Structure 1
């Protein structure tokens, strides 16, 4: 079968022929139908040679498809079920530590499966397994965005657009900091109250919660925006390190949020199916995954890129 694989630092992702996978006990094989492209894919192409357990590694951690084989002991699932795969579940993350979904077929632990509701487009189902889950978990489950709260979202990209809308649906007053003004109209459509280019403009404005989906020079700005007793949730990893002024964090909570749960994914599925969340995304073909990652690297993508393949 075909698989897009990382072969080593400094090398472009390569389209190779690899053996068909087989399920072990408690596992299923999924015929992949859609796979999202993420900046994390690029990050692991920069540092993966020192962190991945083996090379070449089939990438792709944002996957949805149809179960085609069941391993021994799998219960509650049938061949033909349509599923997404949780990237922060039982099995080590696909595409980083186990073979991922930039391939015709993928092995997953049955406990990591999220059931895709009938009628939900599989491109949306795929992006919900990471961009949806991660952003929703950070702002709703960790940040606890709710009615009456003043919430800031830094970065209106693949994650920020979903987190923003989730907070609006929760009844919060939501503000967005985003340098790319071309997406501001999308943010307004999502129901935001205010837009700025730089989160430094929020300093001293008494936010209850700021979720940083960017992670460049943004964390200190988030801290400065939050009032005493407020929370900053760090999600984005745009820079490998950041510095904050120690005195400014006193009386505030700074936490990191990583991934989410199968339940988070299925809650996002329901919001997508109801069209309460309508993220911007662009579909590409399986054969275009390599170029799609380069488009991400060059900053040419609005929202999310999703590769659709198979029938």
Structure 2
């Protein structure tokens, strides 16, 4: 039998575009018949949180107001619905963020002590893996793995460019190395370049333009600042592939002649699957992938948002949730 959870909790909630997050006291949700109540132990912060707060176009993807943000969630099962048999209180789990209802968009997310999720959206954590690493695996890890392995098809002998070594790019670069690729990375930030040197890549350069002319099989643009995609096209071999997933700029101005003469294959990548998350969880648990992570307290969520907005983050920010005392 599960231990009763508290009646109320604090949550950081979105209340509309252009408004700061609100720290609210809300009821602890109750799981439905096929759902699970998860005690949140870690919630990863994502630049899409800034998009939800700042960009009017994001509001059309948000299906309730107010809503608790936070879509990278790991924690412990607290209660289960009547029809749930695969999980029990105390199980360590991560939440698939692209399942039946998307946390932080279609239902309340993880910037709170508890979150409800469909049981079908839960993944068990490998033994010994920290909640912080598990949380970032659900989106940053999933999205990077999907772009590198599923979309780009990186494998032994591939010559790969990685543009941007932020929260996703650092994972993507390491995954490409683990899949046998020769990896050439680029980032304009000195601290990111230094981070990249610890990923076993062939080299790290200070700009995407420095990758031009290298005849790479694939370039994966985790930055997406317009000019970076232009450089990606100039960096591939004839018939090579550019994978776009960074959203640094709304538009890019590709040079038509470059695309045509290089016979460039340009594809977009977004999100991923449960299988992507499982693969990343195993890499994290084994120590093969060791991303730079900074822990924040619950009260520091607005600070984290501001740092993401200003580009003052190296690696990934993860909010660590305190355990809530029982009533």
What is the TM-score of this pair, normalised by structure 2? 0.91
Aligned counterparts of 1:71 and 1:212: Cα–Cα separation in 2: 42
Task: State which drifts further: 59-68 or 257-266.
Answer: 257-266
Q: Could you tell me which residue of structure 1 aligns to residue 108 of structure 2?
A: 99
* CA–CA separation in structure 1 for the residues paired with 2:90 and 2:143: 27
Where in structure 2 are the equivalents of 1:142-157 lying within 5 Å? 142-157=151-166
2:27 aligned counterpart, secondary structure: coil
Corresponding residue to 1:168 among 159, 162, 177? 177
Q: 1:243 to 1:26 in 2, by over 3 A?
A: farther
The size of the alignment, in residue pairs, is 310
Per-residue deviation, 1:103: 0.8
Which SS does the other structure have where 1:296 is aligned? helix
- Match in the other structure for 2:5: none
Question: Which has the larger Rg?
Answer: 2
CA RMSD of aligned residues (A): 1.4
Residues 271-286 of structure 1 mapped to structure 2, 5 A cutoff: 271-286=283-298
TM-score, length of structure 1 as denominator length = 0.95
Contact 1:137/1:259 (<8 A) preserved: yes
Which residue does the alignment assign to 2:192?
Answer: 183
Write the distance in 2 (CA, Å) between the matches of 1:78 and 1:45: 35
Runs of 4+ in 1 over 4 A off after TM superposition: none
Matched with 1:3 is 11
- Give the conservation status (yes or no) of the 8 Å contact 1:14–1:290: no
**Structure 2 match to 1:307:** 319
1:200-279 aligned at under 5 Å gives the runs: 200-217=209-226, 218-250=228-260, 251-279=263-291
Equivalent residue for 1:109? 118
Residue 38 (1) aligns with residue 46 (2) = yes
Corresponding position of 2:27? 19
Q: Give the Cα separation in 1 of the matches to 2:102 and 2:268.
A: 18
Say whether residues 1:292 and 2:304 are aligned partners: yes
State the alpha-carbon separation in 2 of the partners of residues 17 and 187 from structure 1: 41
Deviations 1:255-309 (A, max 9, x none): 1111111121111111111111110011011111111111222222210111111
1:121 aligns with 2:130: yes
- In 2, distance between residues paired with 1:290 and 1:176? 31
- Give me the whole-angstrom Cα distance separating, in 1, the residues matched to 2:135 and 2:238: 38
Structure 2, gaps ≥5 residues long: 1-8
